[in-house]
Every structure is written in structure tokens, then in C-alpha cells.
Amino acid sequence: MPSPRAALVAVTALAPAVWGTTYVVTTVLLPPDRPLF
């Protein structure tokens, strides 16, 4: 089982990694003629 500090570092690193995928999602995966909302 990872230490609490290692778990905290993993969760902290996960947020920017997920945020970094938003550009790919909006430019590649969404249809070009429809807005997100």
C-alpha cells in the first residue's frame, strides 16, 4: 500500500494530466459544427 504522501502526489499529478487532455477532446473528438453546450 502506498504511503499517504505518495497517494497525495499521485492525486496532485492527476489533475494537470486530466486538464491537459481538454485541448485534444475539444479539437479532435467534438464535432466541428456543434458547440460543447
Flag whether pLDDT at 37 surpasses 70. no
Confidence (pLDDT) at 33: 79
- Give me the percent of the chain exceeding a pLDDT of 70: 86
Tell me the mean pLDDT in the region 17-33: 85
Tell me the mean pLDDT in the region 2-14: 91
Selected residue with higher pLDDT from 28 and 9: 9
Tell me the mean pLDDT in the region 1-25: 89
b/e 5-33 (16+ beta carbons within 10 angstroms → b): eeeeeeeeeeeeeeeeeeeeeeeeeeeee
